[in-house]
Structure 1
Amino acid sequence: MSQDRRLDVLRAIVQDYVETREPVGSRILVERHSLGVSPATIRNDMAALEEEGLIAQPHTSAGRVPTDKGYRLFVDQISTLKPLSMAERRAIQSLLDGAVDLDDVVERTVRLLAQLTHQVAVVQYPSLRRSALRHLELVPLSPQRLLVVIITDTGRVEQRSVETAAEIDPGVIAELRARLNVICAGRRLPAISHTLASLPEQFAPEHRPLVEAVADVLVDTLRLETEERIVMAGTANLARSDLDFTRTIGPVLEALEEQVVMLRLFSEMEEDAVAVRIGAENHHEGLAEASVVTSIYGGAAPSEGVARLGVLGPTRMDYPGTMAAVRAVARYISRILAG
């Protein structure tokens, strides 16, 4: 059997099953696809695909449906993603261009992804550990209390307060603010902690406790694990796909509600332009019948990204269309954050 023809038959089965939700038989393949061989040859090809575990027969006298292994081979064979339509590109631009801050960008992005893919959309907030500092501000709140404002290049803002035993000198605040912005601006946050360690030595002994307190607050903020969070939209889309799950969608919904599950899954995804996990590849029982398509955003290359966005849906998914939408939205939001 020709390897290329076998892939053509598998591709046709995946496409038809995604479109119709009905098991695909050899007669349907002959009628809908120009495979250039007889029905008997196609039946032989389907038997070989089934033997390899790429397709399965859900019940006697039925056609075949793709397995997780079959979907994986199908996805791995997608060499190029089709561009989005002009209408889809306009929808992305019109919705995201009106965003006023990071929270607005994230909220608009998650709604847009759910609309484009008809799946559950998930957007992770930019990670502090993968962001660069744009500006740092020190704001006196009282003679002995200081507000530290951290603004990252992704538009994320974190605020921390510092209490001191001695009265704060305005001149020291101005000098400390200037020094911090010089040594920290444009640098990834994890790298800043090494520079901050030697900063107190640059000030007079009586001012070092304040400098040390501010430096400690910055380092503690950068080390925070609890700041990771995600936003979701389109759960109703999952409910409309209930027939695609042999069990109920309850386990999937429970996994979505536990943000730690999705954050762990996002952290395990490959740093590709578009990464796909199918069924059991998700390593979570509740997601055994679901697929996740993600992309990293916020950097010129995946390794420079600051967070992930993506969609979750049943394994019976329009993979080419979903992958194209996820990639396009990730690229657009990256340009917004870079601007």
Structure 2
Amino acid sequence: MSEERRLEVLRAIVQDYVGTREPVGSRMLVERHSLGVSPATIRNDMAALEELGYIAQPHTSAGRVPTDKGYRAFVDQISTLKPLSVAERRAIQNLLDEAVDLDDVVERTVRLLAHLTHQVAVVQYPSLTRSALRHLELVPLSPQRLLVVIITDAGRVEQRVVETAQEVDPGVVAELRARLNVACVGRRLEAIKGPLAALPEQFAPEQRALVEAVSDQVLDTLRMESEERIVMAGTANLARSDVDFTRTIGPVLEALEEQVVLLRLFSEMEEDTVAVRIGAENHHEGLVEASIVASAYGGEDASEGVARLGILGPTRMDYPGTMAAVRAVARYLSRILAG
């Protein structure tokens, strides 16, 4: 059996099983696909695929279903993703363009992704530690209180109040605002530590306490990991897929409730345009029958993304369609945040 034909037969099995939920037999393959070989040859090919662990026979059924290894081989041979339809792309653009702030963008994105894929959608909020500064603003609230506004390139806005022992000089505030933006804008956390540490020396001794307090607030805000969080939508889609789990969806739902589990899985996924983890590759007992398709967003490429978004569903899913939807939504979201 040639490698090329083996992959062709495997691809046909995956497509039919995803579409019908029924184990696939050789007769079905002959009827539905132009494989160019005899039924006997297809049966031999299927026997070889089963021996290699790409397909398996559930119960006493005459048909075969893909294994995790089979799905992985299928996904790995997807060289190009079919673009979404014009209507789908327009729907994505229209929905996200109407968002009014970052929270609205994230909420719209997760609902959109769940609708497009009919799976559970997960969107991670932009990470402060991986974001670059877009602008820093200082707003006097009273003679001894200063509001520090931190705006990242991912559209995230954080506000902190600095209390001072002496009255704030408006001229000093204006100078500090200008120097902070020169030192920090366009840079990430690691790149601004040095410039901020050197900033107090650029001011008179009596002004340095204020400069240090503001600098500390900026660094502390960007270091925060407690605000790493995710938003989910489409859990009902998982319930409708209950037949795809040989056990129950209970372990999957429990894993979804633990945000730290999903955040860890996101962080472990490859820095590809679209990454796919199948079944046992998730290294979590509750997700051994689930797959995750994810992509980074918020950067010029996957390696520079500030967060991830993706879907979670049963291993029996439309991988090409799901991967295309995840990629498209990630690109639109990146474009909006960059604007």
Shared fold, TM over 0.5: yes
Q: 2:2 is matched with which residue?
A: 2
The 2-side partners of 1:168 and 1:94 are apart by: 45
Q: How much does 1:190 deviate?
A: 2.8
Residue 91 of structure 1: CA displacement? 1.2
Cα distance per residue 1:7-36 (max 9 Å; x no partner): 111000100000010000111111111111
Letter in 2 for 1:307: A
SS of 2:276's partner is: strand
Instruction: Give the structure-1-normalised TM-score.
Output: 0.98
- Which deviations, in whole Å up to 9, do the C-alpha atoms of 1:104-150 show, x marking residues without a partner? 11111111100100000111111111111111111222222221110
Contact 1:190–1:222 (Cα < 8 Å) also in 2: no
1:151 aligned partner: 151
Correspondence for 1:171: 171
Does residue 49 in structure 1 map to residue 56 in structure 2? no
Separation in 2, partners of 1:301, 1:255: 29
Amino acid at match of 1:60: T
**What are the residue-to-residue correspondences of 1:317-332 with 2, within 5 Å?**
317-332=317-332
Q: CA offset at residue 93 of structure 1?
A: 1.4
For the residues of structure 2 that align with 1:286 and 1:167, how far apart are their CA atoms? 57
> Over residues 260-287 of structure 1, what are the superposed CA-to-partner deviations in whole Å (9 max), with x where a residue is unaligned?
1111100001000000000000011111
The worse-fitting range, judged by mean Cα deviation, of 135-144 and 310-319 is: 135-144
What does residue 208 of structure 1 align with? 208
Q: CA deviation at 1:165?
A: 2.0
Tell me, yes or no, if structure 1 residue 253 matches structure 2 residue 215: no
Instruction: Specify the alignment match of 1:38 in structure 2.
Output: 38
Match of 2:70 in 1: 70
| Mapped partners of 1:94, 1:169: distance in 2 | 46
Across the two proteins, how many residue pairs are aligned to each other? 339
- The letter for the 2-side match of 1:316 is R
Q: 1:78-227 maps to which residues of 2 (within 5 A)? A: 78-227=78-227
User: Kindly, what percent of the aligned residue pairs are identical?
Assistant: 87
Deviation at 1:55, TM superposition (A): 0.4
How well do the aligned residues superpose, as a CA RMSD in angstroms?
1.0
Deviation at 1:160, TM superposition (A): 1.2
Tell me how far 1:333 sits from its aligned partner: 1.0
Q: Distance in 1 between matches of 2:53 and 2:17?
A: 16
CA distance, structure 2, for counterparts of residue 3 and residue 186 of structure 1: 49
Between 40-49 and 167-176, the greater mean CA deviation after superposition: 167-176
Give 1:298's aligned residue.
298
How much does 1:62 deviate?
A: 2.7
1:29 corresponds in structure 2 to: 29
Query: Which deviates more from structure 2 when the two are superposed, residues 244-253 or residues 188-197?
Result: 188-197
For the residues of structure 1 that align with 2:248 and 2:172, how far apart are their CA atoms? 62
Greater displacement, 271-280 / 89-98: 89-98
Partners of 2:43 and 2:203 lie apart in 1 by 81
2:84 is paired with a residue whose SS is coil
Return the alpha-carbon distance in structure 1 between the equivalents of residues 322 and 314 of structure 2.
12
Give yes or no for contact 1:99–1:108 (8 Å, CA) kept in 2.
Answer: yes
Structure 1: gaps (5+ residues) = none
Residue-by-residue CA offset, 1:30-75 (whole Å, 9 max, x unaligned): 1111111111111111111011110000112431000000000000
Letter matched to residue 9 of structure 1: V
- Aligned letter for 2:264? R
1:47 alignment partner AA: A
C-alpha deviation, 1:168, in angstroms: 2.1
Q: What secondary structure, in the 3-state scheme, does the structure 2 residue paired with 1:81 have?
A: coil
The question of whether the paired residues in 2 share the 8 Å contact of 1:81 and 1:320 is answered with yes
Superposed CA offset, 1:174-213 (max 9, x none)? 1111110121112223311121001011111111111111
* CA shift for structure 1 position 304: 1.6
- Counterpart residue type for residue 189 of structure 1: L
